[in-house]
Amino acid sequence: MTKVTLTVNGRAMTGECDDRTLLVHFIRDRLGLTGTHVGCDTTQCGACVVHLDGRSVKSCSILAVQASGSTVTTIEGIAAQGELHPVQAAFNQHHGLQCGFCTPGMVMTAIDMIGRHGGTLDEATVRLELDGNICRCTGYHNIVKAVLAADAAMHAEQRAAAE
């Protein structure tokens, strides 16, 4: 067993695991944060996306011991003071979810995407960047609408704060 220490959603957390334990399983099984979903364990579906040191990653592709010392943000850590994150709010408003299984990974991917593109997202870019996230329910149309709406809202907030 190896000791793994992470800062998860702003809190220092430590647990022990086997050297071959995937980060997704460590987050769910050792830390009890079950919002990060296990879909495939092969990086195919994107249900396990978290932010590792500020970038979205598929947590089924990283060993927990590799992530030790890093900062991890899961879906549980993005809402602020009980308010939905703007991406969560947009998914709700634009019906970007149905069964909800892919939603945490989609939301985490969208937050990273919006942060990297700085208000310049278009439908083609969103569709391209969501390519590694599988949704079997929605057909992606409302997910794309939600990401674009969140992008507009988040950058409007940034412009208003700058004025």
Segment 132-142, tens digit of pLDDT: 999 988 889 99
Q: Where are the domains of the chain?
A: 2-76, 86-162
**Which CATH number is correct for 2-76, 3.40.50.20, 3.10.20.30, 3.40.50.1100, 1.10.3720.10?**
3.10.20.30
Superfamily holding 86-162: [2Fe-2S]-binding domain (1.10.150.120)
pTM of structure:
0.94
**pLDDT tens, residue by residue, 69-109:** 999 999 999 999 989 999 999 999 999 988 999 999 999 99
* Distance from chain centroid for Cα 109: 5
